[in-house]
Each structure stands twice: as C-alpha cells, then as structure tokens.
C-alpha cells in the first residue's frame, strides 16, 4: 500500500524590523507534514433539533417506517414539531413549546442543542411531537417519494420501454 502524502503548507509572514522597511519575509513552518485541505462534498440536508442540551439522554429508535426519539422531561409543556427550510434543500425539524413564536431568530441562536442528522429517506414535513407521561416522543416518518408515486397508480405498474400496451 503506497504511503499517504500530506500536503499542508503553513507559512508565516514576519515584518522586517531592522529599520530599512524592505517588506515582509516568508518563513516556512518546520512541521514537515503537509496536508491539502478539502471541502466537504455536501452538507446534511435534514436535521432534527430538540429543546435540550447536546448531552441530553435521548433514546433513538429506527423502525422500518419511522425514526422515534424519546427523552424524559418535566420542564416543558405542550410541544409542536416545526419544519423550517433554512436554505433551499436544507430542512430542519425544530421541536419547541406551543407558545414559542421566534423559530428562525438568529438572536436566540443556541449552539448547545441536541441535534440528529436525518437520512434522505425521512419525511420532515410529517414529523410530530407528543408529550406523554413526562416523556417527549418525536416521530419522523420515513418514505421515499417513489413509494408515494407507486401508490398513486391505482395498482397499475408503469415503466419505460416495457412493451405492455
């Protein structure tokens, strides 16, 4: 197996302080290992955010038809799951108390929130949140749009180039 090359080059520019104002002098770092930085190819387009700190004990269950998130709480009242489109193609499910009005305010930006990256197979617009016996239960259904379109054909199979007339 060939050795992996690291391509990071760190350079420092130091002002010349000997009084002749010649300019800057470039000093390469002495680290020796170089690595080329890469940009991530994508961001996660679906995220669930719960109104708890990031270290909260949340039970995550994946079923064939949904994801279920269960957390014990006594500090919030009635809750609701809101779907917010942060950027075209990037959706966030935010669970907040019913009276909470400012969902997208950056003034109340809280970085230490419990978050979960949802796969593409989830349907954030159908998410629900229920408070039962001191437990917050958030359900995010799964389902591809292809499955929905298949159900809209009244039991008929349709495809391209099939020869069924």
Question: Percentage of residues in the chain with pLDDT exceeding 70?
Answer: 53
164 band by pLDDT with thresholds 50, 70 and 90: very low
pLDDT digits (tens, 9 = 90+) for 48-104: 999 889 999 999 999 999 999 999 988 777 889 999 988 888 899 999 887 665 554
Looking at residue 154, its pLDDT comes to 44
Distance CA 132, CA 5 (A): 55
Distance CA 69, CA 60 (A): 5
124 band by pLDDT with thresholds 50, 70 and 90: very high
Looking at residue 105, its pLDDT comes to 46
Question: Of residues 29 and 5, which shows the higher confidence score?
Answer: 5
Looking at residue 102, its pLDDT comes to 55
pLDDT digits (tens, 9 = 90+) for 104-113: 444 456 678 8
Q: Which residues pair with 79 in a beta bridge?
A: 97
Give, rounded to a whole angstrom, the gap between the first and last alpha carbons of the chain: 55
Pair of tokens at residue 9: 């080059």
Q: What is the mean pLDDT of residues 113-127?
A: 93
Instruction: Please identify, in words, the CATH class of the domain defined by 46-147.
Output: mainly beta
Computed over every residue of the chain, the mean pLDDT equals 72
Q: What is the mean pLDDT of residues 123-133?
A: 93
């Amino acid at each position: 197996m060939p050795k992996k090359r690291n391509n990071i080059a760190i350079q420092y520019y130091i002002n010349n302080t000997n009084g002749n104002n010649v300019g800057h002098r470039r000093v390469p770092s002495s680290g020796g290992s170089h690595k080329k930085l890469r940009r991530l190819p994508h961001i996660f387009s679906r995220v669930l955010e719960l109104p708890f700190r990031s270290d909260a004990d949340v039970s995550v269950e994946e079923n064939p038809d949904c994801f279920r998130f269960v957390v014990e709480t006594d500090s919030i009242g009635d809750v609701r799951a809101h779907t917010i489109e942060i950027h075209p193609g990037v959706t966030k499910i935010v669970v907040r108390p019913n009276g909470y009005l400012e969902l997208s305010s950056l003034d109340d930006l809280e970085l230490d929130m419990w978050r979960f990256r949802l796969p593409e197979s989830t349907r954030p617009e159908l998410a629900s949140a229920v408070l039962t016996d001191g437990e917050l239960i958030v359900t995010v259904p799964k389902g591809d749009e292809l499955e929905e379109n298949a159900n809209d054909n009244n039991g008929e199979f349709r495809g391209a180039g099939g020869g069924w007339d």
